[in-house]
Amino acid sequence: MIYELRIYKIYPGKIDAIRQRFSEHTFRIFERLGMQVCDFWEEMEEQPKLYYMMKYESMEERIRQWEMFAQDKEWNDVKQKSEQNGKIVERVDQIFLKRADYWV
C-alpha cells in the first residue's frame, strides 16, 4: 500500500472556488473512478493550502487512476468552468509515503 500526500497552494482569493469544486464535483468524480481519499485538511493561514491523502495498492494503480482522471470528460468540463475567472491552483506538491513497519 502506498499513500500520496497532495498539497495544493491556492491563488489568492480562490479558496472558495476550490472548496466548491471539491465538494460539488471532484470527490464524486474520484469515487466514480475508484480513487480513495483517506482524509482532507485546510491549513489555518490567511492564504490556506489544501492537504489530502490518497491511498493506492501500487504506484502503477496510482498512475492509472490519475491518467483516467486527467482524461475524464466530466472533470475536464468542471475544471474549465471553474477556471473561467482564472486558475485556482497555483501549485501541487506530492509526497509519496509508505506505512512504517514498526507502527502499531
Q: Is the pLDDT of residue 76 over 90?
A: yes
- The answer to whether the CB of 83 falls within 8 A of the CB of 28 is no
Give 47-65 pLDDT, tens digit per residue: 789 999 999 999 999 999 9
Give 14-39 pLDDT, tens digit per residue: 999 999 999 999 999 999 999 999 99
pLDDT of residue 92: 97
Domains of the chain, start order: 2-97 (3.30.70.100)
CA dihedral 29, 93, 63, 4 (to 10 degrees): -80
Predicted TM-score of the model (pTM): 0.90
pLDDT of residue 49: 93
Task: Report the alpha-carbon distance of residue 12 to residue 61 in Å, rounded.
Answer: 33
DSSP structural state of residue 103? -
Task: Report the alpha-carbon distance of residue 97 to residue 94 in Å, rounded.
Answer: 10
